[in-house]
Amino acid sequence: MPTKKTVRDYIRTIVDFPHEGIMFRDVTTLFADARGFRICIDQLLHPYAGEAIDKVVGLEARGFIIGGAIAHQLSVGFVPIRKKGKLPGATISEEYQLEYGEAVMEVHDDAIEPGEKVLVVDDLLATGGTCEAGIKLIERLGGEIVGCAFIVDLPDLGGRAKLEALGMDVHVLCEFEGD
């Protein structure tokens, strides 16, 4: 009898990408497999069954793929949080720290109404900087975050602990340690 595949089984590891010493967790192989993608979306949604959710926020860029699918399943709106300069309308922005320097995330200033319940999604949780910037943007617009869901967690980088210290409920499907 064949063993049942998990979400982790669909994720490819690419050694030394984008730099030497990095083990890149490539979720495009998960997205390309219909069964794997379905399992992923169902498992990301499971902890939030029955919760009132008004919007799903996807973090650039792979968060758009899963965020759109989750928003569709929930029959709610989808909001992208993007890198600076990528959104055409009036935006608010939030700076955050990268390993070497800073970056800026933006969201349309009318994307979330005060009091709306928001689920934040992305493919990978590393240091938590991108998600923290997204959380700050959502909260500045008055949104209430019901949770943060990720496909992959790299626990050695501390992102989950950072988000939980902010009071966030964090849900991940699999972990890759030692990265």
Per the annotation, the verdict on 62 as an active-site residue is: yes
Q: What angle do CA 102, 95, 68 make, to 5 degrees?
A: 105
Q: Which of 56, 4, 8 is nearest to 153 (CA)?
A: 8
Residue 27, phi-psi category: left (phi > 0), alpha (psi -120 to 50), beta (remainder): alpha
Q: Does domain 50-175 have CATH number 3.40.50.720?
A: no
User: What's the distance, CA 55 to chain centroid?
Assistant: 14
In three-state form (DSSP H/G/I as H, E/B as E, the rest C), the secondary structure along 97-140 is EECCEEEEEEEECCCCCCCCEEEEEEEEECCCHHHHHHHHHHHH
Q: What gap in Å lies between CA 46 and CA 110, rounded to an integer?
A: 29
Q: What gap in Å lies between CA 159 and CA 124, rounded to an integer?
A: 10
Mean pLDDT by groups of 10 residues along the chain of 179 residues? 88 94 95 98 96 97 97 98 97 89 95 98 96 98 98 96 98 89
Q: Which of 47, 37, 39 is nearest to 146 (CA)?
A: 47
- Helix, strand, coil fractions of the chain, as percent rounded to 5: 35, 35, 35
Of 20, 35, 99, 177, catalytic: 99
**pLDDT value at residue 2:** 66
Provide the token pair at 170. 């964090």
**pLDDT value at residue 3:** 76
**pLDDT value at residue 105:** 98
Beta-carbon count within 10 A of 123 CB: 24
pTM for the whole structure: 0.95
Identify whether 69 is preceded by a cis peptide bond (ω within 30 of 0): no
**pLDDT value at residue 179:** 58
**pLDDT value at residue 129:** 95
Of 8, 12, 38, 62, catalytic: 62
Q: Is 43 exposed, middle or buried (0-12, 13-18, 19+ CB in 10 A)?
A: middle
Per the annotation, the verdict on 99 as an active-site residue is: yes
Give bridge partners of residue 8 from the DSSP assignment: none
Domain locations in the chain as residue ranges: 50-175
**pLDDT value at residue 1:** 62
